[in-house]
Every structure is written in structure tokens, then in C-alpha cells.
A and B are shown apart, each in its own frame.
Chain A
Amino acid sequence: MTLVTNQQPIVAFPADVWEKAKSKEELVNWLNKYSQEAEISPILKMKDYLTIGRKEVLIEIQVFANEEILALLPNTDIAADGKTIDEAKHNLLLDISDDYDYLVSRREVLGKELSAQLHLLEEFLENANN
């Protein structure tokens, strides 16, 4: 199930796509759509901890096939990338700090989700100093 174009790499198609396609153009269209819609999924997810003040906060580390690394704070939309796990964790700490300051400054106009996020960050940061 391959399509060879001039001086281009060989591309493998799923059998059903190959069989249904009536022209090369349909295959190219499928390929364009597939490449645009394909989700980027991590090849590895693991738990880790981030030290905030005196507190260890649970975070998630995601490793991707292209060696990109994301550090995420669960139950928030906060994430940071890095070339190494340590760099991603360091960047996540900066993200959390800046996000907290940003959300506090807009407390009165935050929607439901961001208000909940601010509440969670306040818990982390208050507990971190106790």
C-alpha cells in the first residue's frame, strides 16, 4: 500500500484508505488531512514531584517520540516544556508562579474554570509556606 512520488519518501497508507481511493489526488488529500488532525501523543507518562516552598506537589511528566518533554500540573491547564525533565520542571515552576500572579490580578473577572485553578494554586502556595 504505497505511493511513490518523484524524489519523495515512500508513504504507507492504511489498507482501507488505499482500497477506497479512486485517484492519487484522493490519497494526497487524505494524507494532508491526516497529518493536520493527528494528535500528538506522549510515548511515556509518569508521576513526579515539584518542590514549591516546603511542599512536594504531584505533577505529570510526558515524554514524546521526538524527545520533547512536558511537565504538567494536574487539574489545571498549566504546562511547560523542556529538553530535559529538570528543565521542564523548572519551567513549570516559573509558569505556576506567573500564572498565580496573573490570576490573582484578575480574580473578579475569572470564569468558573480559572477561578477553580486560582483556588488550587492558592492552596499549593499557602501550604508551601507552612
Chain B
Amino acid sequence: MPITKRELKEILNKLGFTEIRSKHHIFFELRISNRIIRTKISHGSERDISDALLSHILKEQIYLTKEEFESAKRGQFSEKEYLEILKSKRIIENI
């Protein structure tokens, strides 16, 4: 099911992302050591985020499986646990 922009925003905030507004988008950024994990949502329309785009965001930008994302959506993991997931996938190095 498509997710609303508000839902995604809340999840990203819980995972420690900070918001940066640009002309057409809100960027969500997590700075870790020497790299940035980032994604963005447009603030131009009220339309939900499609399943296809969400799948792309998860895989290419925030590195979560659908199952992990569903857990995050249920509030089942925090910023600390998200960092552990990123480490386990070698997206970031041990800090």
C-alpha cells in the first residue's frame, strides 16, 4: 500500500534523519562519520508515495528491506538500531 509523505517523514525522523528544505523537496539527511545517507520527498503535492518509488527509496537511498521498514513503521527500532543495520550491511563502517 502506498505510504503518505507524513508517515515517511515521521519514520525518518525517528531514525535520526534531519530535514533540509529545498525548492521542490524536503531532504532527509543522516550524517555518519565520513558519509551522508539521504533521501527526499517532494512537497509540491499531497499525493502519496507510490510503492514503486518507496521500493526505490528503501533499496537505493536508506538501505532497508521492506520488512525492516515495516518494523520501523511499527516503531520497533530506533536510530541506534538503524545504525547497526547500516553497519551490518557495510553501508557504514564501525564508528
Partner-B contacts on A (CB < 8 A): 33, 36-40, 42, 62, 64, 66, 68-70, 72, 77, 79-81, 91, 94-95, 97-99, 101-102, 106, 109-114
Of B11-19, B50-58, B75-83, the one touching chain A:
B50-58
Partner-A contacts on B (CB < 8 A): 20, 22-25, 27, 31, 34-36, 38, 40, 42, 44, 49-53, 55-56, 60-61, 65-67, 70
11 A–B contacts, CB within 8 A, in A order: A37-B67, A64-B51, A68-B53, A70-B53, A70-B56, A81-B52, A81-B53, A94-B25, A95-B24, A101-B22, A109-B36
Contact of A40 among B22, B36, B52, B67 (CB under 8 A): B52
The CA of A114 and the CA of B34, in the complex, are separated in Å by 11
B27: which A residues are within 8 A, CB to CB? 98, 102
Question: Would you call B23 and A101 a contact (CB within 8 A)?
Answer: yes
Extra A-B contacts (9), CB below 8 Å, given A37-B65, A79-B60, A110-B36: A36-B70, A39-B55, A40-B51, A64-B51, A68-B50, A69-B52, A95-B40, A102-B20, A109-B36
Interface of chain B: mostly helix, strand, loop or mixed? mixed
Q: List the 8 closest pairs (A to B, CB-CB), nearest first.
A: A111-B35, A77-B60, A81-B53, A68-B52, A68-B50, A40-B55, A94-B24, A81-B50
A109: which B residues are within 8 A, CB to CB? 31, 34, 36
A113: which B residues are within 8 A, CB to CB? 35
Q: Give the shortest distance, in Å, between B80 (CB) and chain A (any CB).
A: 21
